[in-house]
Amino acid sequence: MAAVTAHERIAALPALVNGDAAVVRRGRFLTTAFLLGIDEVEYLITVSEGRIASLERGPFLMRPWTFALRASAETWQRFWEATPAPGYHDLFAMKKRGAARVEGDLVPLMTHLRYVQDVITAPRRAALLHG
């Protein structure tokens, strides 16, 4: 079986989040759009009251976003492993090592940090279930 790529993992993200009532409820006060960058490819994730309204693959022309989380495909793959290695287990751990970048308006990110963590680790929880 071919390995699941980072791009395939993120494609599954809306269904994973929207299918998890606890995560959607946790994000019910958040409506925004943020970027998740995998290598040079940008994904615009639009959140509407905790649900993922859309996941769009760039490139984008003049599309607004509040904050951006960027890392290499290899880093995201390791972040999404069922049991990630030290330094790959948390966004800020990767950021501290220089393996991830956090950009833009950080207030909505920090206000809803647990929700955003739940969203970006959804592929990890799927890996735990399906390998």
C-alpha distances out from residue 113 to 23, 40, 73, 106, Å: 12, 24, 22, 10
Of the residues 4, 55, 73, 93, which one makes contact with another protein according to CB under 8 A = 93
Instruction: Kindly state the number of chain residues that form the binding site for another protein, as judged by CB under 8 A.
Output: 18
Q: Is 92 in the site for another protein (CB under 8 A)?
A: yes
Q: How far is the CB of 17 from another protein (least distance, A)?
A: 17
Shortest distance (Å) from residue 12 CB to another protein? 20
Are 67 and 35 in contact by the 8 Å Cβ rule? The answer is yes
Please report how close the Cβ of residue 115 comes to another protein at its closest, in angstroms.
9
Name the pairing type of β-strands 51-57 and 67-71: unpaired
Site string for another protein, 1-40 (x = CB under 8 A): ----------------------------------------
Of the candidate spans 31-39, 43-51, 52-60, 112-120, the one that interacts with another protein by CB under 8 A turns out to be: 112-120
